[in-house]
Chain A
Amino acid sequence: MTADTDADDAQSAPQPEPHVGIVLVSHSERLAEGVAELARQLGGDLVPIAAAGGTDDGSLGTSIEKIGSAIRDADAGAGVLLLADLGSAVLTVRALLEDAAELNGAPERADDSGAAARDAASVGSARAVIADAPLVEGAVSAVVTAAAGGDLAAVLASAEEARGFRKL
Protein backbone atom coordinates (compact mmCIF):
# COMPACT_ATOMS: atom_id res chain seq x y z
CA MET A 1 0.00 0.00 0.00
CA THR A 2 2.56 2.54 1.03
CA ALA A 3 5.08 1.19 -1.42
CA ASP A 4 3.34 2.22 -4.59
CA THR A 5 1.19 5.19 -3.79
CA ASP A 6 3.83 7.87 -3.94
CA ALA A 7 4.07 9.28 -7.46
CA ASP A 8 7.31 11.16 -6.77
CA ASP A 9 9.11 8.00 -5.82
CA ALA A 10 7.86 6.31 -8.93
CA GLN A 11 9.40 8.98 -11.12
CA SER A 12 12.67 9.51 -9.28
CA ALA A 13 13.73 5.87 -8.96
CA PRO A 14 12.88 2.62 -10.65
CA GLN A 15 10.12 1.06 -8.61
CA PRO A 16 11.16 -2.31 -7.21
CA GLU A 17 8.72 -5.07 -8.02
CA PRO A 18 6.61 -5.71 -4.96
CA HIS A 19 6.92 -9.15 -3.42
CA VAL A 20 4.07 -11.41 -2.46
CA GLY A 21 3.31 -11.10 1.25
CA ILE A 22 2.73 -13.96 3.65
CA VAL A 23 0.33 -14.12 6.59
CA LEU A 24 0.73 -16.82 9.23
CA VAL A 25 -2.41 -17.72 11.15
CA SER A 26 -2.24 -19.85 14.28
CA HIS A 27 -4.30 -20.56 17.36
CA SER A 28 -1.27 -19.44 19.31
CA GLU A 29 0.11 -15.92 19.11
CA ARG A 30 3.58 -17.20 19.98
CA LEU A 31 3.44 -19.97 17.39
CA ALA A 32 2.45 -17.51 14.66
CA GLU A 33 5.19 -15.09 15.73
CA GLY A 34 7.72 -17.88 15.89
CA VAL A 35 7.00 -19.11 12.38
CA ALA A 36 7.09 -15.49 11.19
CA GLU A 37 10.52 -15.07 12.79
CA LEU A 38 11.79 -18.16 11.03
CA ALA A 39 10.33 -17.09 7.70
CA ARG A 40 11.71 -13.56 7.96
CA GLN A 41 15.18 -14.91 8.36
CA LEU A 42 14.77 -16.78 5.07
CA GLY A 43 13.03 -14.00 3.21
CA GLY A 44 15.25 -11.18 4.30
CA ASP A 45 13.65 -7.77 4.14
CA LEU A 46 12.10 -8.44 0.77
CA VAL A 47 9.02 -10.42 1.74
CA PRO A 48 6.40 -8.78 3.95
CA ILE A 49 5.42 -11.28 6.62
CA ALA A 50 2.68 -10.77 9.19
CA ALA A 51 1.52 -12.99 12.04
CA ALA A 52 -2.09 -13.38 13.17
CA GLY A 53 -2.06 -15.64 16.20
CA GLY A 54 -4.54 -16.11 19.02
CA THR A 55 -7.73 -14.28 19.84
CA ASP A 56 -8.20 -10.56 20.39
CA ASP A 57 -7.63 -11.01 24.12
CA GLY A 58 -4.48 -13.04 23.59
CA SER A 59 -5.81 -16.48 24.39
CA LEU A 60 -5.69 -19.54 22.13
CA GLY A 61 -8.02 -19.29 19.15
CA THR A 62 -8.52 -17.28 16.00
CA SER A 63 -9.41 -13.65 15.41
CA ILE A 64 -10.85 -12.55 12.09
CA GLU A 65 -9.86 -8.97 12.93
CA LYS A 66 -6.23 -9.95 13.43
CA ILE A 67 -6.24 -11.84 10.15
CA GLY A 68 -7.73 -8.92 8.25
CA SER A 69 -5.21 -6.57 9.75
CA ALA A 70 -2.31 -8.92 8.95
CA ILE A 71 -3.45 -9.14 5.33
CA ARG A 72 -3.31 -5.35 5.05
CA ASP A 73 0.11 -5.28 6.69
CA ALA A 74 1.55 -7.95 4.41
CA ASP A 75 0.24 -6.56 1.15
CA ALA A 76 2.86 -4.70 -0.86
CA GLY A 77 0.76 -4.82 -4.01
CA ALA A 78 1.61 -8.32 -5.23
CA GLY A 79 -0.99 -10.18 -3.18
CA VAL A 80 -0.91 -12.16 0.04
CA LEU A 81 -0.65 -15.88 0.74
CA LEU A 82 -2.21 -17.14 3.97
CA LEU A 83 -1.11 -20.22 5.86
CA ALA A 84 -3.07 -21.52 8.84
CA ASP A 85 -2.37 -24.19 11.42
CA LEU A 86 -5.57 -26.07 12.30
CA GLY A 87 -9.34 -26.23 12.36
CA SER A 88 -10.79 -22.90 13.28
CA ALA A 89 -7.79 -20.98 11.94
CA VAL A 90 -8.43 -22.48 8.51
CA LEU A 91 -12.19 -21.96 8.79
CA THR A 92 -11.83 -18.36 9.89
CA VAL A 93 -9.50 -17.54 7.02
CA ARG A 94 -11.86 -19.17 4.56
CA ALA A 95 -14.87 -17.38 6.02
CA LEU A 96 -13.03 -14.08 5.61
CA LEU A 97 -11.98 -14.81 2.03
CA GLU A 98 -15.42 -15.99 0.99
CA ASP A 99 -17.03 -12.92 2.43
CA ALA A 100 -14.51 -10.76 0.66
CA ALA A 101 -15.15 -12.54 -2.63
CA GLU A 102 -18.83 -11.92 -2.21
CA LEU A 103 -18.39 -8.26 -1.34
CA ASN A 104 -16.46 -7.78 -4.51
CA GLY A 105 -19.32 -8.78 -6.70
CA ALA A 106 -18.78 -12.46 -7.21
CA PRO A 107 -22.21 -14.00 -7.60
CA GLU A 108 -23.22 -16.20 -4.72
CA ARG A 109 -22.68 -19.81 -5.64
CA ALA A 110 -23.86 -22.20 -3.03
CA ASP A 111 -21.97 -25.19 -4.34
CA ASP A 112 -18.69 -23.89 -5.61
CA SER A 113 -16.20 -26.48 -6.63
CA GLY A 114 -13.08 -26.53 -4.53
CA ALA A 115 -11.12 -24.98 -7.36
CA ALA A 116 -13.38 -21.98 -7.71
CA ALA A 117 -13.27 -21.41 -3.97
CA ARG A 118 -9.48 -21.20 -4.13
CA ASP A 119 -9.47 -18.18 -6.42
CA ALA A 120 -7.81 -15.22 -4.82
CA ALA A 121 -10.29 -12.92 -3.12
CA SER A 122 -9.86 -9.18 -2.83
CA VAL A 123 -9.55 -8.18 0.81
CA GLY A 124 -9.61 -4.41 0.67
CA SER A 125 -6.98 -3.67 -1.94
CA ALA A 126 -5.13 -6.94 -1.41
CA ARG A 127 -5.56 -10.12 -3.39
CA ALA A 128 -5.42 -12.97 -0.89
CA VAL A 129 -5.49 -16.75 -1.10
CA ILE A 130 -5.09 -19.55 1.43
CA ALA A 131 -2.66 -22.41 0.90
CA ASP A 132 -3.56 -26.01 1.66
CA ALA A 133 -0.20 -26.63 3.27
CA PRO A 134 1.50 -27.30 6.60
CA LEU A 135 2.24 -24.09 8.47
CA VAL A 136 6.01 -24.31 8.97
CA GLU A 137 7.07 -26.11 5.81
CA GLY A 138 4.56 -24.15 3.76
CA ALA A 139 5.85 -20.84 5.12
CA VAL A 140 9.47 -21.73 4.40
CA SER A 141 8.68 -22.88 0.90
CA ALA A 142 6.47 -19.86 0.19
CA VAL A 143 8.92 -17.28 1.47
CA VAL A 144 11.75 -18.62 -0.66
CA THR A 145 9.63 -18.38 -3.78
CA ALA A 146 8.30 -14.97 -2.81
CA ALA A 147 11.80 -13.65 -2.18
CA ALA A 148 12.82 -14.86 -5.62
CA GLY A 149 10.06 -12.72 -7.11
CA GLY A 150 7.46 -15.38 -7.73
CA ASP A 151 3.92 -14.15 -8.26
CA LEU A 152 0.98 -15.13 -6.07
CA ALA A 153 0.18 -18.25 -8.08
CA ALA A 154 3.80 -19.40 -7.93
CA VAL A 155 4.04 -18.75 -4.19
CA LEU A 156 0.80 -20.65 -3.63
CA ALA A 157 2.03 -23.60 -5.68
CA SER A 158 5.32 -23.58 -3.85
CA ALA A 159 3.64 -23.62 -0.45
CA GLU A 160 1.41 -26.49 -1.46
CA GLU A 161 4.35 -28.51 -2.73
CA ALA A 162 5.49 -28.52 0.89
CA ARG A 163 2.72 -30.96 1.65
CA GLY A 164 4.83 -33.63 0.01
CA PHE A 165 8.07 -32.86 1.84
CA ARG A 166 9.49 -35.78 3.74
CA LYS A 167 11.88 -35.49 6.61
CA LEU A 168 13.42 -38.94 6.51
Chain B
Amino acid sequence: MNPPDGPDARFDSVSFDDASSDTASSDTVLFDTAFFRAWITRVADAVEAEREHLTALDSAIGDGDHGANLSRGFAAVMRTFDVSSPRTPATVLVLTGTTLISKVGGASGPLYGTAFRRAGQALNDAPDVDLAGLAGALGAALAAVRKLGAAHDGDKTMVDALAPAVETLDKAVLAGASPRDALTAAAAAAEAGAEATIPMQAHKGRASYLGPRSVGHKDPGAASTALILAALRDTAVAIEGGHSGADAGGDTRSGDGGEHDDGDDTSGDDTGSDSTDHVA
Protein backbone atom coordinates (compact mmCIF):
# COMPACT_ATOMS: atom_id res chain seq x y z
CA MET B 1 0.00 0.00 0.00
CA ASN B 2 2.54 2.56 1.11
CA PRO B 3 5.51 3.30 -1.01
CA PRO B 4 8.16 1.09 0.58
CA ASP B 5 10.78 3.75 0.35
CA GLY B 6 10.99 7.45 0.04
CA PRO B 7 11.94 10.32 2.23
CA ASP B 8 9.65 9.29 5.04
CA ALA B 9 10.10 5.54 5.06
CA ARG B 10 11.23 5.11 8.62
CA PHE B 11 8.78 2.32 9.11
CA ASP B 12 8.42 0.15 6.08
CA SER B 13 6.38 -2.90 6.81
CA VAL B 14 9.42 -5.15 6.95
CA SER B 15 10.30 -3.71 10.29
CA PHE B 16 7.29 -5.42 11.82
CA ASP B 17 8.86 -8.81 11.32
CA ASP B 18 12.07 -8.07 13.14
CA ALA B 19 10.84 -5.60 15.66
CA SER B 20 13.72 -6.17 18.00
CA SER B 21 14.03 -2.56 18.97
CA ASP B 22 14.26 -1.32 22.50
CA THR B 23 10.55 -0.75 22.68
CA ALA B 24 8.32 -3.12 24.53
CA SER B 25 6.42 -5.64 22.48
CA SER B 26 2.74 -5.15 21.90
CA ASP B 27 1.53 -7.68 24.43
CA THR B 28 3.09 -5.88 27.35
CA VAL B 29 2.15 -2.29 26.60
CA LEU B 30 -1.21 -1.16 27.81
CA PHE B 31 -2.92 2.11 27.03
CA ASP B 32 -4.83 3.53 29.96
CA THR B 33 -7.31 6.32 30.52
CA ALA B 34 -4.59 8.95 30.74
CA PHE B 35 -3.22 7.83 27.40
CA PHE B 36 -6.55 8.17 25.66
CA ARG B 37 -7.17 11.54 27.25
CA ALA B 38 -3.71 12.68 26.19
CA TRP B 39 -4.49 11.51 22.65
CA ILE B 40 -7.72 13.47 22.44
CA THR B 41 -6.00 16.52 23.92
CA ARG B 42 -3.35 16.27 21.20
CA VAL B 43 -6.11 15.99 18.62
CA ALA B 44 -7.70 19.16 19.98
CA ASP B 45 -4.36 20.96 19.79
CA ALA B 46 -3.68 19.70 16.26
CA VAL B 47 -7.13 20.65 15.04
CA GLU B 48 -6.69 24.14 16.47
CA ALA B 49 -3.22 24.47 14.91
CA GLU B 50 -4.45 23.22 11.53
CA ARG B 51 -7.77 24.99 11.64
CA GLU B 52 -7.03 27.39 8.81
CA HIS B 53 -5.51 24.64 6.69
CA LEU B 54 -8.58 22.42 7.09
CA THR B 55 -10.82 25.35 6.31
CA ALA B 56 -8.82 26.12 3.18
CA LEU B 57 -9.16 22.51 2.02
CA ASP B 58 -12.87 22.59 2.71
CA SER B 59 -13.33 25.94 0.97
CA ALA B 60 -12.03 24.36 -2.22
CA ILE B 61 -14.62 21.59 -2.42
CA GLY B 62 -16.95 21.96 0.57
CA ASP B 63 -18.59 24.71 2.54
CA GLY B 64 -15.42 25.92 4.23
CA ASP B 65 -16.38 25.13 7.79
CA HIS B 66 -14.46 21.95 8.55
CA GLY B 67 -11.68 23.67 10.50
CA ALA B 68 -14.07 25.81 12.50
CA ASN B 69 -16.45 22.92 13.13
CA LEU B 70 -13.78 20.54 14.39
CA SER B 71 -12.11 23.26 16.41
CA ARG B 72 -15.39 24.10 18.11
CA GLY B 73 -16.16 20.43 18.65
CA PHE B 74 -12.86 19.46 20.23
CA ALA B 75 -12.79 22.62 22.34
CA ALA B 76 -16.14 21.47 23.70
CA VAL B 77 -14.66 18.01 24.34
CA MET B 78 -11.87 19.57 26.39
CA ARG B 79 -14.42 21.43 28.49
CA THR B 80 -16.41 18.22 28.95
CA PHE B 81 -13.32 16.44 30.24
CA ASP B 82 -12.80 19.22 32.77
CA VAL B 83 -16.32 18.84 34.06
CA SER B 84 -16.73 15.07 34.09
CA SER B 85 -13.39 13.35 34.32
CA PRO B 86 -13.72 10.09 32.38
CA ARG B 87 -12.51 7.04 34.26
CA THR B 88 -11.93 4.45 31.55
CA PRO B 89 -10.55 4.54 28.01
CA ALA B 90 -14.04 3.74 26.79
CA THR B 91 -15.58 6.72 28.56
CA VAL B 92 -12.91 9.04 27.16
CA LEU B 93 -13.85 8.03 23.63
CA VAL B 94 -17.61 7.82 24.15
CA LEU B 95 -17.65 11.25 25.81
CA THR B 96 -15.58 12.62 22.94
CA GLY B 97 -18.00 11.21 20.40
CA THR B 98 -21.13 12.33 22.18
CA THR B 99 -19.79 15.86 22.50
CA LEU B 100 -18.79 16.01 18.84
CA ILE B 101 -22.24 14.89 17.72
CA SER B 102 -23.79 17.62 19.85
CA LYS B 103 -21.44 20.48 19.17
CA VAL B 104 -20.34 20.14 15.54
CA GLY B 105 -23.02 21.43 13.23
CA GLY B 106 -21.65 19.82 10.06
CA ALA B 107 -21.39 16.27 8.78
CA SER B 108 -18.11 15.70 10.60
CA GLY B 109 -20.04 15.80 13.89
CA PRO B 110 -22.11 12.65 13.44
CA LEU B 111 -19.31 10.93 11.50
CA TYR B 112 -16.46 11.55 13.94
CA GLY B 113 -18.88 11.42 16.85
CA THR B 114 -20.15 7.99 15.91
CA ALA B 115 -16.62 6.83 15.14
CA PHE B 116 -15.34 7.77 18.61
CA ARG B 117 -18.45 6.38 20.30
CA ARG B 118 -18.16 3.03 18.55
CA ALA B 119 -14.44 2.89 19.24
CA GLY B 120 -15.14 3.48 22.91
CA GLN B 121 -17.93 0.93 23.05
CA ALA B 122 -15.58 -1.65 21.54
CA LEU B 123 -13.32 -1.24 24.59
CA ASN B 124 -16.04 -2.14 27.10
CA ASP B 125 -15.02 -1.23 30.63
CA ALA B 126 -11.38 -2.27 30.47
CA PRO B 127 -9.15 0.00 32.59
CA ASP B 128 -6.45 -0.33 29.97
CA VAL B 129 -6.15 -1.63 26.46
CA ASP B 130 -3.39 -3.36 24.56
CA LEU B 131 -2.40 -2.65 20.97
CA ALA B 132 -4.75 -5.27 19.61
CA GLY B 133 -7.60 -3.73 21.58
CA LEU B 134 -6.75 -0.31 20.23
CA ALA B 135 -6.67 -1.70 16.70
CA GLY B 136 -10.04 -3.33 17.28
CA ALA B 137 -11.47 -0.03 18.49
CA LEU B 138 -10.25 1.78 15.39
CA GLY B 139 -11.69 -1.02 13.28
CA ALA B 140 -15.06 -0.49 14.96
CA ALA B 141 -14.77 3.23 14.22
CA LEU B 142 -14.10 2.50 10.56
CA ALA B 143 -17.05 0.14 10.32
CA ALA B 144 -19.30 2.78 11.90
CA VAL B 145 -18.17 5.50 9.51
CA ARG B 146 -18.59 3.25 6.51
CA LYS B 147 -22.08 2.33 7.60
CA LEU B 148 -23.26 5.78 8.61
CA GLY B 149 -21.83 7.58 5.64
CA ALA B 150 -22.40 4.70 3.22
CA ALA B 151 -18.96 5.58 1.88
CA HIS B 152 -16.78 3.16 -0.02
CA ASP B 153 -13.04 3.21 -0.52
CA GLY B 154 -12.14 5.75 -3.18
CA ASP B 155 -15.18 7.99 -2.62
CA LYS B 156 -12.84 10.79 -1.45
CA THR B 157 -13.85 10.72 2.19
CA MET B 158 -12.31 10.16 5.61
CA VAL B 159 -12.66 6.43 4.92
CA ASP B 160 -9.79 6.76 2.45
CA ALA B 161 -7.49 7.77 5.32
CA LEU B 162 -8.97 5.64 8.09
CA ALA B 163 -9.20 2.36 6.16
CA PRO B 164 -5.48 2.12 5.27
CA ALA B 165 -4.59 3.13 8.83
CA VAL B 166 -6.73 0.36 10.30
CA GLU B 167 -5.41 -2.16 7.80
CA THR B 168 -1.82 -1.21 8.57
CA LEU B 169 -2.44 -1.36 12.29
CA ASP B 170 -4.04 -4.79 12.05
CA LYS B 171 -1.07 -6.10 10.12
CA ALA B 172 1.33 -4.60 12.64
CA VAL B 173 -0.51 -6.29 15.49
CA LEU B 174 -0.31 -9.65 13.73
CA ALA B 175 3.39 -9.11 13.11
CA GLY B 176 4.00 -8.33 16.77
CA ALA B 177 5.22 -4.80 16.13
CA SER B 178 5.81 -2.43 18.99
CA PRO B 179 3.05 0.14 19.59
CA ARG B 180 5.40 2.89 18.56
CA ASP B 181 6.21 1.25 15.22
CA ALA B 182 2.64 0.15 14.65
CA LEU B 183 1.11 3.56 15.35
CA THR B 184 3.82 5.30 13.34
CA ALA B 185 3.02 3.10 10.37
CA ALA B 186 -0.74 3.62 10.85
CA ALA B 187 -0.29 7.40 10.92
CA ALA B 188 1.81 7.25 7.76
CA ALA B 189 -0.84 5.12 6.07
CA ALA B 190 -3.51 7.65 7.01
CA GLU B 191 -1.40 10.50 5.67
CA ALA B 192 -0.72 8.62 2.44
CA GLY B 193 -4.42 7.82 2.20
CA ALA B 194 -5.32 11.47 2.61
CA GLU B 195 -2.82 12.46 -0.08
CA ALA B 196 -4.29 9.82 -2.35
CA THR B 197 -7.69 11.56 -2.24
CA ILE B 198 -6.31 14.46 -4.29
CA PRO B 199 -6.86 12.88 -7.73
CA MET B 200 -10.14 11.26 -6.69
CA GLN B 201 -13.58 12.46 -7.69
CA ALA B 202 -15.90 12.88 -4.71
CA HIS B 203 -18.92 10.58 -4.46
CA LYS B 204 -20.13 11.58 -0.99
CA GLY B 205 -20.85 14.82 0.76
CA ARG B 206 -21.11 18.30 -0.58
CA ALA B 207 -18.01 17.85 -2.73
CA SER B 208 -19.88 15.23 -4.77
CA TYR B 209 -22.08 18.00 -6.19
CA LEU B 210 -18.95 19.31 -7.88
CA GLY B 211 -18.50 16.11 -9.86
CA PRO B 212 -15.24 16.14 -11.81
CA ARG B 213 -14.37 19.55 -10.39
CA SER B 214 -13.69 17.89 -7.05
CA VAL B 215 -10.59 16.31 -8.59
CA GLY B 216 -7.28 17.91 -7.64
CA HIS B 217 -8.13 18.76 -4.03
CA LYS B 218 -7.36 16.84 -0.86
CA ASP B 219 -10.46 15.75 1.01
CA PRO B 220 -10.69 17.74 4.25
CA GLY B 221 -12.19 14.81 6.16
CA ALA B 222 -9.34 12.54 5.11
CA ALA B 223 -6.90 15.29 6.11
CA SER B 224 -8.40 15.63 9.59
CA THR B 225 -8.43 11.85 9.99
CA ALA B 226 -4.70 11.86 9.23
CA LEU B 227 -4.26 14.48 11.96
CA ILE B 228 -6.07 12.27 14.45
CA LEU B 229 -3.85 9.28 13.62
CA ALA B 230 -0.74 11.47 13.81
CA ALA B 231 -1.84 12.60 17.26
CA LEU B 232 -2.20 8.96 18.29
CA ARG B 233 1.33 8.24 17.10
CA ASP B 234 2.71 11.29 18.88
CA THR B 235 0.99 10.31 22.10
CA ALA B 236 2.51 6.84 21.99
CA VAL B 237 5.94 8.19 21.14
CA ALA B 238 5.80 10.80 23.89
CA ILE B 239 4.93 8.20 26.49
CA GLU B 240 7.66 5.83 25.40
CA GLY B 241 10.16 8.65 25.19
CA GLY B 242 9.42 9.68 28.74
CA HIS B 243 10.28 6.23 29.99
CA SER B 244 13.42 5.35 28.07
CA GLY B 245 11.50 2.68 26.25
CA ALA B 246 11.95 0.24 29.09
CA ASP B 247 8.37 -0.24 30.16
CA ALA B 248 5.98 2.05 28.40
CA GLY B 249 3.06 0.21 29.90
CA GLY B 250 3.97 1.25 33.39
CA ASP B 251 4.42 4.81 32.31
CA THR B 252 1.01 5.12 30.76
CA ARG B 253 -0.45 4.46 34.16
CA SER B 254 1.09 7.45 35.79
CA GLY B 255 -1.68 9.79 34.76
CA ASP B 256 -4.88 10.64 36.48
CA GLY B 257 -6.88 7.73 35.21
CA GLY B 258 -5.08 4.81 36.77
CA GLU B 259 -6.70 4.66 40.15
CA HIS B 260 -7.61 1.02 39.69
CA ASP B 261 -4.26 -0.28 40.81
CA ASP B 262 -2.09 2.63 41.70
CA GLY B 263 -1.20 0.87 44.89
CA ASP B 264 0.77 -1.97 43.38
CA ASP B 265 2.99 -0.36 40.83
CA THR B 266 6.13 -0.97 42.79
CA SER B 267 7.47 -3.15 40.03
CA GLY B 268 7.46 -2.51 36.36
CA ASP B 269 5.88 -5.77 35.37
CA ASP B 270 2.33 -5.28 36.49
CA THR B 271 1.13 -4.70 33.00
CA GLY B 272 -1.20 -7.28 31.69
CA SER B 273 -1.77 -9.09 34.92
CA ASP B 274 -5.17 -7.94 36.01
CA SER B 275 -6.82 -6.47 33.01
CA THR B 276 -5.91 -8.19 29.80
CA ASP B 277 -8.65 -10.74 30.30
CA HIS B 278 -11.20 -8.02 29.76
CA VAL B 279 -9.48 -6.81 26.66
CA ALA B 280 -8.87 -10.10 24.98
| Residues of chain A whose beta carbon lies under 8 Å from any beta carbon of chain B | 55, 59-65, 86-88, 91-92, 94-95, 98-99, 102, 108, 110-112, 114, 117
A112 B147 Cβ-Cβ under 8 A: yes
A91 and B102 in contact, given A98-B148, A99-B117, A110-B147 (Cβ under 8 angstroms): no
In the complex, what residues of B have CB within 8 A of residue A95's CB? Answer: 101, 110, 113-114, 148
A91 B107 Cβ-Cβ under 8 A: yes
A-B contact pairs, 6 of them (CB 8 A): A62-B106, A62-B110, A64-B102, A91-B111, A112-B147, A114-B150
Shortest C-beta distance, B208 to chain A (Å), equals 10
A88 B105 Cβ-Cβ under 8 A: yes
A88 and B106 in contact, given A64-B101, A95-B101, A108-B121 (Cβ under 8 angstroms): yes
Bound state CA distance, A63 and B109, in angstroms? 10
Shortest C-beta distance, B95 to chain A (Å), equals 14
Shortest C-beta distance, A5 to chain B (Å), equals 29
In the complex, what residues of B have CB within 8 A of residue A99's CB? Answer: 114, 117
Q: Which 4 A-B pairs have the closest CB atoms?
A: A61-B105, A88-B107, A95-B110, A110-B143
A91 and B110 in contact, given A55-B105, A59-B105, A61-B105 (Cβ under 8 angstroms): yes
B205's nearest neighbour on chain A, judged by CB, is A87
Shortest C-beta distance, B280 to chain A (Å), equals 18
In the complex, what residues of A have CB within 8 A of residue B143's CB? Answer: 110-111
In the complex, what residues of A have CB within 8 A of residue B114's CB? Answer: 95, 98-99
In the complex, what residues of A have CB within 8 A of residue B108's CB? Answer: 88
Give which listed residue, B110, B121, B205, contacts A94 with CB less than 8 A: B110
Bound state CA distance, A59 and B105, in angstroms? 9
Shortest C-beta distance, A18 to chain B (Å), equals 29
In the complex, what residues of B have CB within 8 A of residue A62's CB? Answer: 105-106, 109-110
Shortest C-beta distance, A54 to chain B (Å), equals 8
| Interface of chain B, main secondary structure | helix
In the complex, what residues of B have CB within 8 A of residue A94's CB? Answer: 110, 148
- B144 at the A interface (CB under 8 A): yes
Bound state CA distance, A92 and B97, in angstroms? 12
Give which listed residue, B102, B140, B147, contacts A117 with CB less than 8 A: B147
A63 and B148 in contact, given A91-B111, A95-B113, A108-B121 (Cβ under 8 angstroms): no
In the complex, what residues of A have CB within 8 A of residue B113's CB? Answer: 95
A91 and B148 in contact, given A64-B102, A65-B102 (Cβ under 8 angstroms): yes
Shortest C-beta distance, B141 to chain A (Å), equals 10
A87's nearest neighbour on chain B, judged by CB, is B107
In the complex, what residues of A have CB within 8 A of residue B106's CB? Answer: 61-62, 87-88
- B260 at the A interface (CB under 8 A): no
Give which listed residue, A60, A88, A114, contacts B109 with CB less than 8 A: A88
Interface residues of B in 107-132 (CB under 8 A from A): 107-111, 113-114, 117-118, 121
- B10 at the A interface (CB under 8 A): no
Shortest C-beta distance, B167 to chain A (Å), equals 15
- B154 at the A interface (CB under 8 A): no
Bound state CA distance, A98 and B144, in angstroms? 10
Shortest C-beta distance, B252 to chain A (Å), equals 27
Interface residues of B in 137-158 (CB under 8 A from A): 140, 143-144, 147-150
- B206 at the A interface (CB under 8 A): yes
Bound state CA distance, A13 and B204, in angstroms? 52
Bound state CA distance, A88 and B113, in angstroms? 12
Shortest C-beta distance, A115 to chain B (Å), equals 13
The CB with the most chain A CB atoms within 10 A, among B106, B118, B143, B149, is that of B106
